[in-house]
Amino acid sequence: MLIHRYKTLIFIALFSYAVCGNAAKTSKNRPHQPKHHVSAPARQPEQGARPYAQRPEVMAQVADIAERRGLPPEWTADVIGQARHLPSVAKLMLPPPSGQKKDWGLYRSRFIDPVRIDAGVKFWQAHAAALARAEQVYGVPPDIVVGIIGVETIFGRQTGTYRVIDALATLAFDFPSTHPRAAARQAFFRDELEQFLNLMHRGGGDPLSLRGSYAGAIGMPQFMPSSIAKYAVDFDDDGRIDLSRSATDVIGSVANYFKAFGWTAGNPTHFDIQFDPSSVDMDSLLAPDILPTFSPASIEKLGVRLNDACKAYAGKLALIELQMGALPAKYVAGTDNFYTITRYNWSSYYAMAVIELGQAIAKEVRER
């Protein structure tokens, strides 16, 4: 019932507010009325936004894209031609200036706040049965699922205002060349653009209307198109996947995503630790980055003091550094489950924000 059924489920529910009718017509079939509505205000036209129809070198690639994905060439050319290059999107992809200190305290304050906590409590209470079922099916606890949705979109309040086709086309064809990983990132977004076109054509939605983040992420959980194709599930079993308006589908899809990336039920995400950074080999401890590499015994040999629970942990650990601006950094020992959260967003700061927001919401749910 809950497995991914790409060929039979209609993704049109995800795109139900992006109804057919523009030049990029796809299907005469309309979805039934969605259960929840999450709208995104339209962005004002951006200065310098230029339709890709005016870019011959881009339009020359349409035939290959259509053939590779089994899409109608005319439809593909029509959609890509009406996509617009957004200079602001490309600029947002550039990393911060080198040497700029990260600040976990500041980062945390953006996500663990009364607005998100209160919205999270209401979301948890309204969807407690779906959260419990997701934990039973996928092994992912409610606080992690809720933490993700809260950090990503404040439970559907902020799902993005960019046209997804504009964002993905910009990053597929005009990814900033000054980015240190420009070639790899451009290839990633080229694939996401093609995945998006494939989903929209099969689902019968209007690819020119759907809105999302500046990176092309979609819906309450901010799934990229490839993640929709691989991990989205019809958790309410109504015959369609709706990541914009069905909280149940969102809950199941987030939990399925984590299970696919190796979440281990019952294991912690991290342990508190103690050590003096000036007296240990920090280069060796930080060399694996966030990838769990050390056994509890081996990390202790490098000078890190562990509590009893961490010493008894059977898996691998990573030393997670959270810089605090001008203050001394904070450190925790991250587990495989911590690493799994970073597969949603490759940042230890993001993972800790998800964990701590989920914990804060869970605490309020218990106390209310």
| Three-class SS state of 274 | strand
- What are the b/e assignments for 277-304, b being 16+ CB within 10 Å? eeeeebeebeeeebebebebeebbeeeb
Question: Using CA of residue 342, residue 344, residue 346, residue 350, what is the dihedral sign?
Answer: negative
Q: What DSSP line would sit under 148-195, residue for residue?
A: HHHHHHTTTT----EEHHHHHHHHHH---TTSTTHHHHHHHHHHHHHH
Contact 281, 260 (CB under 8 A): no
Q: Which of 238, 344, 199, 204 is nearest to 2 (CA)?
A: 238
Q: How far apart are the first and last CA of the chain?
A: 34
Q: Give me the residue label for tokens 């053939």.
A: 67
Q: What DSSP line would sit under 227-255, residue for residue?
A: HHHHH---TT-SSB--TTT-HHHHHHHHH
| Three-class SS state of 204 | coil
**Among 135, 152, 192, 194, the one annotated catalytic:** 152
Residue 67 falls in the annotated catalytic set:
no
- Distance from C-alpha of 46 to C-alpha of 43, rounded to nearest angstrom: 8
- Distance from C-alpha of 20 to C-alpha of 37, rounded to nearest angstrom: 18
Name the residues annotated as catalytic: 152
